[in-house]
Amino acid sequence: MRRKTTSLLLIGLLFLISCVNLQPASAVSRGEMAEVIIKTLDLPRWTGQDRFSDVPTDHPFFSAIETARAYGIIFPGEKFHPDLEATRIEALHFAFKAMGWSHEAEIAQFLAPQENEDIPPFMLPSLSLGALCSPLAPQPFINFPRQNLEREDLAELANWLYSCRRSMIWDQTFYGEHTSLRIHREKVGTPPISWAIFITETPDATAAQKIEAELSQKGLSAFIINSETTYTVYTGPYSNFVKAWEIFETLPTELGAKIVPHSQQKSEALFWAALQTEGIQKTSTIITAPSLGQPLLPLKHMTDKTRAEAAINGGFFSSRKPIGTLIVRGIPLSPSYAQRSAMGWTEEGATFWGNGEFRALLRDEYRIAPITDLNSVPPENGLGLFSSIAGQFFKPLPLDSVLYLFGNDSISEAGSLIRSQRAVPDNSLLLAARGIGIDMIKSFISERKTISMEIEWRDPSMDGSYYALQGGPMLLKDGQLQTRNEGFSQKLREEKHPRTIVGTDGQKVWWIVIDGRNPWHSGGATLLEAARLANDLGLSTVLNLDGGGSSELVWKGQIINAIPGGRERPLPYGIFFAPSTTGGEGSPVS
């Protein structure tokens, strides 16, 4: 009788325990789910002194929960409730975050959205990605995501994660009216071992130092990273995501600060996205920020304003000015930089690749007049050309300069109002002449001949370019690897960075952004690695463009890549595909 009573008591106790935990015998808790995912992925365990989980240290899954919080897999301030029963969608969401595929999940939801009213909206991206990546997520997790996670599910999830560790990829093409977008992500990422808070970036070293000093006075550990053309200010580094978040919460929201990975340990993770066009069509154009009202603008802002289907960043720039050749609708806006490589295209769609050095000149039947400066004050005896596409206002000119309007194949003197307002009329070209330059212009006017503005290329293969931009170095030319460094530093060429490249396979033109500076998402590429990637895609000629924090690709209103620092860098111009609000010489239509 006592034995029977003991058995009944034991059964009753087990029943009470199951009721307290609210879990059937085959159910899996959130804590155990976290343990299996972190163990299967072999994520480094958190061993630091900080404690930030909502469970005691003697909890059986304390280590996994601490680790997940240290990496930001469990967001700070979020109650995890490790003893509650997990669902399949929770496990899938946790797994993608632990593998460093959160960005891909968000893009998957944008490109191939899933709808399920029973699933929290922030988890839907994981459902979308689970149905697209290879290997596919286990079918029960896709077909019945709200069901409880059971033992057999956990085993199937672990097997899937093992497969992902060996080889994981998402490679898919999506089609628009004028462009197609190819998305590629490969490999499980490596969690960062430190974090920082991105504060701001500026081309002005003094301004960066001032911000750094102000942060230090507030007791924050601030530092500056110089990436050759910009100075980026950070606070940190911090050994875990939670500490970075605690500091982040104390900063004014107007700073627009972002928590970013700081460590650059080895990672096989790689993300790139490519726009593809059938040649360069009339729908492909360069649009400048000044033509839209500001010296610099974020690419997404310009895309929204022009209602373009897609856009990507272009060549290098410093402060507010492009570095190197920039020609928009046959108008030269920026002089060439040495003999760096460039690409150009005609209105009809033919593309050119070669040396970007050129000179602009005025010509009539009898004479030529070299244009010495573009959108800047000309020297003594020089001739400067100003265009509203490059900026509506110009700096004060020397008193000995004379202004002329150029248009309709003729030159005429500009009115005094233009000089007093220092404004370039919309859809007009303004000439500023000094010394001998004045004499040359007067001779053109006196002859009353048809005057043309021409661009002479050092490299005949660039002749006929209606649009052109200079980048460099050239990575591939007619299938051959190019080795000239074109004056770029070893650091820029041989370290892994985000990259923007453009190339052709003989039929399509590819505009590619490679993400970097995040070992969990994408480690970036050296220039040689970028060339190999392009070669593997079948491209025969490839030019490097601006990279780093400038690398950005927008498609159908969405930023597709993950920008380093998490914040767009304002640009002087971009390449736009099928914009619908531009006219004249690139100025917006009112």
Domain-located, residue 158: yes
Same domain, 161 and 40: yes
DSSP string, 330-351: TEEEE---TT-EEEEE-TTS-E
Same domain, 172 and 200: no
* pTM (2 d.p.): 0.92
Q: What stretch of H or E contains 70? A: helix 62-70
pLDDT band at 581 (very low <50, low <70, confident <90, very high): low
Domain-located, residue 12: no
Residue 585 has pLDDT above 60, yes or no: no
Same domain, 366 and 243: no
Domain-located, residue 231: yes
Instruction: Indicate the burial class of 178 (C-beta count within 10 angstroms; 0-12, 13-18, 19 or more).
Output: middle
Same domain, 441 and 308: no
Supply the pLDDT for residue 25. 55
For the chain, the first-to-last Cα distance in angstroms comes to 95
- Specify the higher pLDDT residue, 79 or 228: 79
Q: How far apart are CA 534 and CA 224, in angstroms?
A: 33
Supply the pLDDT for residue 408. 86
> Structural domain of residue 334, as residue ranges?
168-190+269-349+463-590
Same domain, 335 and 367: no
pLDDT band at 3 (very low <50, low <70, confident <90, very high): very low
- pLDDT tens digits for range 355-370: 999 999 999 988 999 9
CATH value at residue 208: 3.30.70.1070
CB 300 within 8 A of CB 307: no
Supply the pLDDT for residue 229. 77
- Specify the higher pLDDT residue, 24 or 485: 485
Rounded mean pLDDT of 238-252?
95
Same domain, 333 and 482: yes
Residue 279 has pLDDT above 70, yes or no: no
Same domain, 107 and 250: no
Q: What is the dihedral of CA 308, 508, 571, 492, to 10 degrees?
A: 160
- Specify the higher pLDDT residue, 13 or 202: 202
Rounded mean pLDDT of 304-316?
97
- Pairing verdict, β 383-387 and 373-374: parallel
Domain-located, residue 10: no
Supply the pLDDT for residue 448. 84
Domain-located, residue 124: yes
- pLDDT tens digits for range 179-196: 999 999 999 999 999 999
Domain-located, residue 16: no
Rounded mean pLDDT of 298-305?
98
Rounded mean pLDDT of 453-482?
97
**What does the mean pLDDT of the chain come to?**
91
Residue 13 has pLDDT above 50, yes or no: no
CB 369 within 8 A of CB 437: yes
Residue ending a domain, among 262, 286, 321, is 262
Domain-located, residue 508: yes
Same domain, 35 and 75: yes
Residue ending a domain, among 417, 437, 457, is 457
Same domain, 31 and 157: yes
Residue 15 has pLDDT above 60, yes or no: no
Domain-located, residue 14: no
Same domain, 181 and 285: yes
Same domain, 177 and 285: yes
pLDDT band at 248 (very low <50, low <70, confident <90, very high): very high
Residue 587 has pLDDT above 60, yes or no: no
Residue 109 has pLDDT above 90, yes or no: yes
CB 340 within 8 A of CB 590: no
Residue 43 has pLDDT above 50, yes or no: yes
- pLDDT tens digits for range 400-436: 999 999 988 999 999 888 888 899 988 889 999 999 9
The encoded tokens of residue 227 equal 């990436």
Same domain, 483 and 494: yes
Q: How far apart are CA 277 and CA 177, in angstroms?
A: 10
Number of domains the chain contains: 4
Residue 201 has pLDDT above 70, yes or no: yes
pLDDT band at 24 (very low <50, low <70, confident <90, very high): low
Q: How far is CA 402 from CA 111, 416, 431, 558, in A?
A: 55, 10, 8, 46
